[in-house]
Structure 1
Amino acid sequence: MQIAYHYLKLREFYGDAEKEPVEVTLEQLAEVLCCTRRNVKLIVKQCQELGWIEWQAGRGRGNRSILTFNMASNDVISSWVRNKIDKGQYSQAMELMRKYDPDSSLHQQLTESIYKQFGIRSTSYNKGRIDLLRLPFYREMPVLDPVNATLRTELHMIGQLFDTLVEWDGSQAVFIPRLAVHWEQNRDGTEWTFYLRKGVLFHNKKELTSADVRHTLMRLGKLDSDCAHQKLDSPSCEWKILRIRSIEATHRYALRIQLDAPSSLLLHYLAAPQASVIPCRTHEYNERLPIGTGPFKLMRNDAEMVVLEAFADYYRERAQLDKIEIWILKELRTQKMPDGGLGGQPILYTHPFQIHTLAPTGTTIMEQTEGGCAFIIMNGRKQGPLLDPAKRRRLRKLLQPEKCVEELGGNRSGAAYSFFPDWSAAIAARLSVENETENAETEREAAAADTRVSLDTDDYQSSLQLYTHAILNNSLEQTARWIQQRCASAGILVHIHVLPYEQFSRPGALDAADIVLLNAITTNNREWSLMHVLLHANYGVHRFVDPVLSSELGQRYAAIARETDPAARSVLLQEVEALLLRHDALHFLYHLRQAAFYHPNLFGTEKINPYGWVDFRELSLRPE
């Protein structure tokens, strides 16, 4: 329907009057349509065939022709939009309506008709019936390769499409067999052997073997190619901290991993989303349509829709929902879904990226505090005022997390003192007891310290550069502005850079930052979660700390890897957080609230995963 675009452009230039002849030349039309005279003739001919115009050609070059518009612009827009809908291009249809006729009743009708498609239903499909869950989402998902997925929704999707060798059960504090049915280690913990399940199929029907697992783990090691010039045991290389010497497929269903030193972190890393197993030796693999062994197979992933279907050959229990459709509606970035526009079918989801205003009346809402938090990193490697620990400390005094939550509100559920909400709660309780015992003299000293924060700004001659990334509802940008205002009250200028996430996560994108603001995502796999936040290649905390602190952290990481007692290891993890705070390398701000509501006919919605979704494999539809 590119012809509709050309027709509307002509109507806009020559006015909206219909049935009124207009004198034109081919040269004028070519200029309006930004094309050649030859293409103008083709466009005119096509519009004539559609009955949209009448055309009386002038004789000779440069002579005027007579153009008469027969079709109202709204009718052409309507036809164009319906064509997009018929092709399943819903996002493009809404984009057209917003661009050409945002206030029309047709726009409202179209919006309502699309929104009523969402929810759950049992529908006819290939001479049978399937249970379908249809959801809206606000952006594309171009990166579903486990090794590169970092955002919440992508990590959720990884869990639906893939499996890992082992799974960490945080409630029982044990590792559960998944693709590996059994594993064992030698006496000194430097050699691990994993035995694979037989008959596990990838979505392309290829059987899983140890060659696939080796390929997956070797690929993870290559993630650290950017730091290949560093020593093998450099702590700034996330997967190299495991100190893997070799990975060998000893049998079709057996894999041996040899380490340079014992590591209690190995199983935690093998249970991480990035360690989801992919097939080797396939030309079908790509980031948009990856192949896994998970309960759902990815059938489509483009600018309009993501479609998953239950994988009938899944080695565990078959998913009960037959199909998941996620429609990409980019206007949800700026426009929330109407309360009454869901056809009475509540759907995912309100947590921090809220896409509808409120849950329908009477709906049960499930809530939890999200693992992880919003925090800032202070760059201890960049030349500037924040090289001075005292200035970093004064900046932290300005940015009180309690005030941030109080003044910004929204889905910020409480001040953060750790990456993990339960650790935060314990620290908050301790601080509350300490505050109650403070005497008046201590309070006066604190007030004087706050005054010094406001006055001591001589070394902030140029503005501090704060980098963050775009997110739905602009929650990080709002926080960045709050930081900017708090600093301005103390005479410190802050310049904000809001980058698209794709740019934010590129190597070197944050080198010019004095302050980096971001959300950390953590799960109950604490060892991997914390190490991932600290050692991520592009925006991990470790890459911004000064050399002295870097060396001390490296020693702490090695101690964590050596510690075999989980309770003692937890203490070491907390000490790493405390060390970073003592050096004022980072500053915690707030935790986020997750909430979800679902149709009562949808079973399995009792548990929200760490990414704010319910695992699709757990859902089923009440038969009616």
Structure 2
Amino acid sequence: MRLAEDYLRLRSAYSGEKKGEPFQVTIDGVAEALYCTPRNARLILRKMTDAGLIQYAAGQGRGHRSELTFLADRRELVIREAQQYVRQGDVQGALLWVKERAGEHEVKQRFMDWLTGYFGYRMETIGEGRIVETLRLPIYRPIVTLDPADAMYAFDTHMIRQVHATLVELDRETDKVTPALALDWESSTDASCWTFYLRKGVTFHNGTELTADDVKYSLLRVQQEARNHSWLCRDIVEICAESRYKVRIKLRQPNVLFALYMSHTAAAVLSRDSGENGAGSVPGSLPVGAGPYRITKLLPGICILEVFQNYYAARGQIDRIEVMIIPDTGGEWSLETNPGVLIVETGEARRQELKAWRCSRLVTGCSMLTINLAKPGILQADSFRRALGLAVDRSRMVRDLGYPYASPCLGFHLEPNPASADPMYDPEEAARELRRSGYCGEVLKLYTYRRHEQAAYWLQQQYDQAGIRLDVYIVPWADLMKEERTREADLILFEALLNEGLLRQIEYLLSRYSFIHSMLDPGAQAEVDQLMGQLLQKEEPEARNEAFQQLQTWLSKRGTAVYLTYNEARVLSHPAQQGVRLNAAGWVDFKDIWFKGERELR
């Protein structure tokens, strides 16, 4: 790539010379154009000659001029180098390269047409008739972390489920916990001691067998206070590997949902032998799991997964998945409507639906504003927090913003048939509550990440009409997780994934790093912890549901958040593509995808 850059610099320095026509140069002139010494200039010219970019005939003797001929078309070279960036997993580098060197809109468009076609399904035959199927997917958000103990964002946890395995899984159809790495499990009568019986012969991606010691190592690691999901294992007082395939876990208090807890991605079983390198927490290392796919390449712009042949359950049908991260460019660059054969949409990139394709939709959760009750000032006024909820016209928000905003949301739960009208919106009552609060025009800080930028500025305008001033701060996904951000923020805008069920809701309320728990004042946090402890001891589902409803009512009365809209995810898939189904997080499980054949894709 450096050679191509030098070639383009030479073309710029000798802009009047045409491709294929020789012209006279001096080595000093070439060195000046390349910003290097004459000696280095000769080396670069030799490399360009070997690469077929130029013809060069050095002049003989002092003062004799040399002859140079440009052979490469500048536009073709720009596109070819950009393609090389992409193949190496650096789409952002490719876009920057084209932007700085294309010069003409035609070059940019040709590259984007190629990039669109680069994604999708490929089938090739290698060796003795072996067929390898590859699926390249454009994804419009970064991978923040693949460490199960720390992953908070939906796409991160989705990727973790492709790579790792847990003791048990939750069947979304029946809402029952089902066997996974554990064949069976049992608990004491008071649900304070749990025993899991492991499958024999399960191997990690590094070839070692998964045993009870790996389970113990993994859960103790999650329990560390610094981990984002330490809440999941905080009640564990003892883990005993009673045999190679049997592990007993003792809790400090009963938890009838502990088996459900073990289906959480944070409870993924890691290889003790691989240590932190295998956990994916060390830069440059590759995660080692026991899931259906293993990671063979992981860079900021690309994650390549290959099917794990020794996976204990059903083998994935797609041999290779290439997840390509498409950077946010503020709309300057956009792929065409049809990048390949599968498009998972969660709101970052907007597309028209393709009539010949199948489209599946799923309400995944709700957009909400959490209010920082730990900050002194106007946010401590109940009337002001009520004004924040009354001043938003959620129905208009849905109309103005469109997909993925689906319908008004009024609480921390999914409604089977949400109404299109917003009964909460009352600008006159909002004005009265604002006057009662003593609000004097203080500017509130609203933090969010790029995905919710449009909604954040829409809210800024909506609140401005009500007389409430907001400053919007768009920060990277990883930065929003930092404690200093939650301390600075008055409001955080994010989407709560409610479709993942009770366990995800418990996480939002117990994890000190969640955007709900972290914004509560210490007294409220202690109250929530106590109420959740009581809920986890109730054996009957009806009693647990009632306790959870009471907790939601308590949070609502405290004015801890402003609920905005239910959000959708959708997936567009080619008719030849099978097994495409949105999971609870709004993504597609790679191991379930398969294709009828190459012929149907044309």
Contact 1:393 / 1:584 at 8 angstroms: preserved in 2?
yes
Aligned pairs for 1:439-458 (under 5 A) are 448-453=428-433
Match of 1:360 among 354, 358, 369: 354
Report how far residue 495 of structure 1 moved. 1.0
Secondary structure at the aligned position of 1:246 is classed as strand
Aligned pairs for 1:25-174 (under 5 A) are 39=40, 42-43=43-44, 46-47=47-48, 52=54, 70=70, 73-74=74-75, 76-78=77-79, 80-81=81-82, 84=85, 92-101=93-102, 103-127=104-128, 128-141=130-143, 143-174=145-176
Report how far residue 76 of structure 1 moved. 4.1
Match of 1:270 among 249, 262, 269: 262
Equivalent position of 2:197 in the other structure: 195
Matched, 1:540 2:515: yes
Tell me, in whole angstroms, the C-alpha distance in 1 between the residues paired with 2:288 and 2:187: 30
Secondary structure at the aligned position of 1:422 is classed as coil
Contact 2:441 / 2:467 at 8 angstroms: preserved in 1?
no
Contact 2:383 / 2:437 at 8 angstroms: preserved in 1?
no
Contact 2:145 / 2:151 at 8 angstroms: preserved in 1?
yes
Tell me, in whole angstroms, the C-alpha distance in 2 between the residues paired with 1:58 and 1:493: 74
Contact 2:395 / 2:420 at 8 angstroms: preserved in 1?
no
1:172-199 CA-partner distances (Å, limit 9, x unpaired): 2321111111111222222111111111
Match of 2:543 among 558, 564, 568: 568
Aligned length: 586
Report how far residue 66 of structure 1 moved. 8.6
Report how far residue 69 of structure 1 moved. 7.2
Equivalent position of 2:557 in the other structure: 582
Aligned pairs for 1:502-513 (under 5 A) are 502-513=478-489
Tell me, in whole angstroms, the C-alpha distance in 2 between the residues paired with 1:403 and 1:431: 9
Q: Structure 2: any 5+ residue segments left out of the alignment? A: none
Q: Structure 1: any 5+ residue segments left out of the alignment? A: 228-235, 436-442
Match of 2:322 among 309, 320, 325: 325
Q: Which amino acid aligns with 1:515?
A: L
Tell me, in whole angstroms, the C-alpha distance in 2 between the residues paired with 1:491 and 1:121: 55
The verdict on how the C-alpha distance between 1:85 and 1:210 changes in structure 2, with shifts beyond 3 A counting, is closer
Tell me, in whole angstroms, the C-alpha distance in 2 between the residues paired with 1:156 and 1:181: 23
TM-score, length basis structure 2 = 0.86
Contact 2:388 / 2:430 at 8 angstroms: preserved in 1?
no
Report how far residue 276 of structure 1 moved. 1.2
Deviates more, 1:613-622 or 1:6-15: 6-15
Report how far residue 459 of structure 1 moved. 3.0
Tell me, in whole angstroms, the C-alpha distance in 1 between the residues paired with 2:370 and 2:328: 32
Tell me, in whole angstroms, the C-alpha distance in 2 between the residues paired with 1:261 and 1:483: 43
TM-score, length basis structure 1 = 0.83
Tell me, in whole angstroms, the C-alpha distance in 1 between the residues paired with 2:36 and 2:378: 55
Secondary structure at the aligned position of 1:330 is classed as coil
Equivalent position of 2:336 in the other structure: 338
Tell me, in whole angstroms, the C-alpha distance in 2 between the residues paired with 1:502 and 1:57: 57
Match of 1:301 among 298, 302, 305: 298
1:438-477 CA-partner distances (Å, limit 9, x unpaired): xxxxx9xx66423425666853343111111122xxxx11
Equivalent position of 2:240 in the other structure: 248
The verdict on how the C-alpha distance between 1:522 and 1:274 changes in structure 2, with shifts beyond 3 A counting, is farther
Tell me, in whole angstroms, the C-alpha distance in 2 between the residues paired with 1:330 and 1:262: 46
Secondary structure at the aligned position of 2:147 is classed as coil
The verdict on how the C-alpha distance between 1:565 and 1:328 changes in structure 2, with shifts beyond 3 A counting, is same
Equivalent position of 1:233 in the other structure: none
The verdict on how the C-alpha distance between 1:495 and 1:20 changes in structure 2, with shifts beyond 3 A counting, is farther
Q: Which amino acid aligns with 2:102?
A: D
The verdict on how the C-alpha distance between 1:521 and 1:117 changes in structure 2, with shifts beyond 3 A counting, is same
Match of 2:395 among 397, 402, 408: 402
Report how far residue 160 of structure 1 moved. 1.7
Q: Which amino acid aligns with 1:573?
A: F
Match of 1:470 among 424, 438, 450: 450
Report how far residue 25 of structure 1 moved. 5.7
Tell me, in whole angstroms, the C-alpha distance in 1 between the residues paired with 2:508 and 2:87: 44
Tell me, in whole angstroms, the C-alpha distance in 2 between the residues paired with 1:409 and 1:431: 16
Secondary structure at the aligned position of 1:206 is classed as coil
The verdict on how the C-alpha distance between 1:260 and 1:447 changes in structure 2, with shifts beyond 3 A counting, is closer
The verdict on how the C-alpha distance between 1:47 and 1:124 changes in structure 2, with shifts beyond 3 A counting, is closer
Tell me, in whole angstroms, the C-alpha distance in 1 between the residues paired with 2:35 and 2:391: 55
Contact 1:480 / 1:517 at 8 angstroms: preserved in 2?
yes
Taking only the aligned residue pairs, the percentage that are identical comes to 25
Tell me, in whole angstroms, the C-alpha distance in 2 between the residues paired with 1:175 and 1:33: 65
Deviates more, 1:44-53 or 1:490-499: 44-53
Contact 1:457 / 1:491 at 8 angstroms: preserved in 2?
no
Equivalent position of 1:483 in the other structure: 459
Q: Which amino acid aligns with 1:557?
A: M
Equivalent position of 2:3 in the other structure: 3
Contact 1:138 / 1:330 at 8 angstroms: preserved in 2?
yes
1:577-620 CA-partner distances (Å, limit 9, x unpaired): 22111111111111112221212222222x31022222222222
Match of 1:525 among 496, 501, 505: 501
Match of 1:210 among 209, 212, 215: 212
Tell me, in whole angstroms, the C-alpha distance in 2 between the residues paired with 1:4 and 1:618: 42
The verdict on how the C-alpha distance between 1:34 and 1:331 changes in structure 2, with shifts beyond 3 A counting, is farther
Tell me, in whole angstroms, the C-alpha distance in 1 between the residues paired with 2:198 and 2:213: 11
Equivalent position of 1:592 in the other structure: 567
1:243-266 CA-partner distances (Å, limit 9, x unpaired): 211111111111111111111232
Report how far residue 64 of structure 1 moved. 13
Tell me, in whole angstroms, the C-alpha distance in 1 between the residues paired with 2:314 and 2:134: 18
Secondary structure at the aligned position of 1:250 is classed as strand
